Amino acid sequence: MGTSLETPLIATAQSMHFEAPLPLQSGAVLRNYHLSYETYGRLNASKSNAVLVCHALNASHHVAGVYADQPNSEGWWDNMIGPGKALDTDRFFVIGINNLGSCFGSTGPMHTHPDTGRAYGSDFPVVTVEDWVDAQARLLDVLGIHKLAAVMGGSLGGMQALSWTVRYPERVGHALVIASAPNLNAENIAFNEVARRAIVTDPDFHGGHFYDHGVVPKRGLRIARMIGHITYLSDDVMNEKFGRQLRAVAAALKEGRTEDLPGYQFSTQEVEFQIESYLRYQGDKFAEYFDANTYLLITRALDYFDPARQFGGDLSRALAAATCKFLIVSFSTDWRFAPKRSREIVKALLHNQRQVSYAEIDAPHGHDAFLLNDPRYKGVVRSYFDGIAREIQP
């Protein structure tokens, strides 16, 4: 909630190239890749104040701050991270890394496949949360950071944070797992599949090699985004925001008209309700900047994440390797990553007698709440980071 009078945090995107091949969970190997990343704040002398922030489906390494030449370019978690904010960049060295397969800078399906000389397209290897975590760990190696003060993420980012705690337990002091889940349930996979089918069946998709055809499967992307967007909101918020209001009525009211308001158009294809207009707008905006193959890859990474799988579904055994302290946060109206899924994580950690706190924030905004500015939510995160700051040697 910084005032506009404060000097904004200036973000600078960086890129790191990796020659050594990265072995992936699928058995494939990614060679010759690069990762886009940003850092904020200053790494202390003992390199003990680093916090890795993991991003979710449609976000990137641009976590906080603005780019020097672009005034309205706030990072996706700028309300959480920055000078004096809940994750205070005056005290912590914050790192955001764009994941492999993304479309915001790191090596992804739109980049050139070193073997073929053309864009990867659908030949980009399927990457998992574990692969992302491995890639992040390599980047931290280069930065000379052996142990993170904390790893933090919401939604799919929370899954990465959770994965960190079992893949590299000795490298994590604290994990903040927000609005996340130990795996996707069938309903969640179903939503992802509808989105993927919308993209794959778009005639402009060309089996994932649309780059060669100079087209973008925008219709599919739009629908994928519309579906996704519905699941990020709560029923109450959607009703409060849009209700059954007609777009024509809203437009008339905006012009100051209060009489002779328009009625139904009796059309099946025109935008009739405000919610339709909103979803189409969100879909159009998304299709302009997001990559179709990336959408497929990231939703698949979500589907595949299931640390308990190799332990016969026993999450307690899966998390037994974790040694760090945890803050788990969920939101009461989040039905995409419901509180009960967070409680499963808490239960498994309790079973292992791990240090864990759990906050269940009663917020109306559904899954989106983790990106919004609820004071109770921010207060809990701030207090938790205050505690971490007290543990850190300068």
Helical H segments across the chain, by residue range: 129-143, 156-167, 186-200, 218-232, 235-241, 247-254, 274-289, 292-304, 315-318, 339-351, 375-391
Q: Least Å distance between CB 91 and another protein? A: 16
Q: Least Å distance between CB 393 and another protein? A: 17
Of residues 100 and 329, the one with the C-beta less far from another protein:
329
Judge whether 299 and 195 are in contact, CB under 8 Å. yes
Of residues 24 and 51, the one with the C-beta less far from another protein:
51
Q: Least Å distance between CB 323 and another protein? A: 15
Q: Least Å distance between CB 69 and another protein? A: 39
Judge whether 43 and 50 are in contact, CB under 8 Å. yes
Determine, following the binding rule CB under 8 A, whether residue 379 of this chain makes contact with another protein.
yes
Taking the C-alpha atoms of residue 383 and residue 357, their distance in angstroms, rounded to an integer, is 12
Three-state secondary-structure class, residue 133: helix
Residue in 48, 60, 122, 155 annotated catalytic: 155
Residue in 131, 334, 365, 368 annotated catalytic: 334
For another protein, what does the binding mask look like between residues 268 and 307, x meaning CB under 8 A?
----------------------------------------
Q: Least Å distance between CB 12 and another protein? A: 33
- Residue 73 annotated as catalytic: no
- Residue 303 annotated as catalytic: no
Q: Look up residue 183 and give its two tokens.
A: 């795996």
Q: Look up residue 339 and give its two tokens.
A: 């509180």
Judge whether 37 and 62 are in contact, CB under 8 Å. no
Q: Look up residue 89 and give its two tokens.
A: 């960049």
Three-state secondary-structure class, residue 367: helix
| Count of residues interacting with another protein (CB under 8 A) | 23
Judge whether 65 and 8 are in contact, CB under 8 Å. yes
Taking the C-alpha atoms of residue 381 and residue 215, their distance in angstroms, rounded to an integer, is 43
Of residues 270 and 386, the one with the C-beta less far from another protein:
386
Closest CA to 165 of 179, 188, 182: 182
For another protein, what does the binding mask look like between residues 320 and 349, x meaning CB under 8 A?
-------x---------------x--xx--
| Element spanning 17, H or E | strand 14-18
Determine, following the binding rule CB under 8 A, whether residue 314 of this chain makes contact with another protein.
no
Of residues 148 and 361, the one with the C-beta less far from another protein:
361
Q: Least Å distance between CB 361 and another protein? A: 7
- Residue 155 annotated as catalytic: yes
Closest CA to 15 of 126, 78, 87, 96: 96
| Residue 241: CB atoms within 10 Å | 12
Residue among 359, 365, 370, 371 that touches another protein (CB under 8 A): 359
Determine, following the binding rule CB under 8 A, whether residue 84 of this chain makes contact with another protein.
no
Determine, following the binding rule CB under 8 A, whether residue 53 of this chain makes contact with another protein.
no
Determine, following the binding rule CB under 8 A, whether residue 152 of this chain makes contact with another protein.
no
Task: Name the site residues for another protein (rule: CB under 8 A).
Answer: 327, 343, 346-347, 350-351, 353, 355-362, 376, 379-380, 383-384, 386-387, 390
- Catalytic positions: 155, 334, 367
